[in-house]
Structure 1
Amino acid sequence: MEYDKKPNPPTKPASVKDSPENTTNTIPNYNLKTVRLKYVKLGYHYLITNTMYLLLIPLAGVLSLHLSTLSVKDILQLWNHLNFNVSQLIVCLQLIIFIATLYFASHPRKVYLVNFACFKPDPTLMCSREDVIDRCRQVGSFTEESLAFKRKILEKSGFGQKTYFPPSIMKIPQNRSWMEARKEAKMVMFGAIDELLAKTGIKTQDIGILV
């Protein structure tokens, strides 16, 4: 006898949950020691800069509480006592002057930017990367391998196609002497300073400190 075999119902595959090893951790991995050290430095900076306030606020609070308990009669009696004790009055005034001087001396003065100037060389000193390689080839001191390495450095170090080079390097043959280096420094520094003085209208005699 033949029996009809019923097909088994299709079974759904069991869903497999991602294991912790397969899941990617999206939380950035911060170095706790670095973060803690950063906050320690920040707290130390605020502590040093606000030391005067931290010392004066409790003193002012205690003094205000003590003065609130005094009556008018006590204040008049204290004033008469100070009139008869000039030395104590002088010491108190000196202490107040010392604290005020210490506060203003430790408080940094504000510095304002009036104007600025950037030195821009002559357009004849503008040079592209290809011109630099050509001048290095004309010098005759570099091999093709060295020129290829120099070309790679120029491409990856941020030199644009309108970069300014000093005259000592642009000349053929190159003149790398102390005199040329001095001329280059003089050209850059004096050029920027002259432009800045022309913008602000300040005379050199009025400048007390140069940083």
Structure 2
Amino acid sequence: MSRPRPIYLLDYAYFKPPMLCRVPFSAFMEHTRLICSNEKSYQFQARILEHSGLGEETYLPPLITISPLSTNMEASRAEAKLVNFSVVDDLLARTGPKPKDIDLARDLL
């Protein structure tokens, strides 16, 4: 077995969601009440949320906060594109390489 190659962090980027994704804790709890099928489920979810560390400045994906709750592949893809593409675009803009200059070593995958 060969020794793994070192991996270096040269730079990083993070995703700052738009303000429309900001959800006060009380609003999220209200939404949770609407989607929970019974009181026992709501109480369980409420305990999890209370201990999760979510605060008043929490940002959540729109899929979680819209009503009625709609989980579909199209919306999930849109969310992934919003996060992933904005982070990669920001990182490339700050560090300078062209996307075509980036290659992944096959033995790292």
Please, what TM-score do these two structures have when normalized by structure 1?
0.44
Residue 122 of structure 1: aligned partner: 18
Q: Is the 8 A contact 1:166 1:184 kept in 2?
A: yes
Q: Point out 4+ residue stretches in structure 1 off by more than 6 angstroms.
A: none
Q: Is the 8 A contact 1:129 1:151 kept in 2?
A: no
Deviations 1:90-145 (A, max 9, x none): xxxxxxxxxxxxxxxx7876543221001111111011321111113344x43333
Q: Sequence identity, in percent?
A: 38
Q: How many residues align?
A: 106
Q: Is the 8 A contact 1:136 1:142 kept in 2?
A: no
Residue 132 of structure 1: aligned partner: 28
Q: Is the 8 A contact 1:119 1:188 kept in 2?
A: yes
Residue 195 of structure 1: aligned partner: 90
Residue 206 (str. 1) matches residue 101 (str. 2)? yes
* Aligned-pair CA distance for 1:162: 1.9
Residue 19 of structure 1: aligned partner: none
Question: Counterparts in 2 of 1:151-162, with a 5 A limit?
Answer: 151-162=46-57
Residue 9 of structure 1: aligned partner: none
Please, what TM-score do these two structures have when normalized by structure 2?
0.79
Can you give the 5+ residue segments of structure 2 that lack an aligned partner in the other structure?
none
| Residue aligned with 1:127, SS | coil
Question: Counterparts in 2 of 1:51-66, with a 5 A limit?
Answer: none
The structure with more radius of gyration: 1
Q: Is the 8 A contact 1:128 1:163 kept in 2?
A: yes
Segment of structure 1 superposing worse, 199-208 or 106-115: 106-115
CA RMSD across the alignment: 2.4
Q: Which has the higher contact order (CA 8 A, sep 6+)?
A: 2
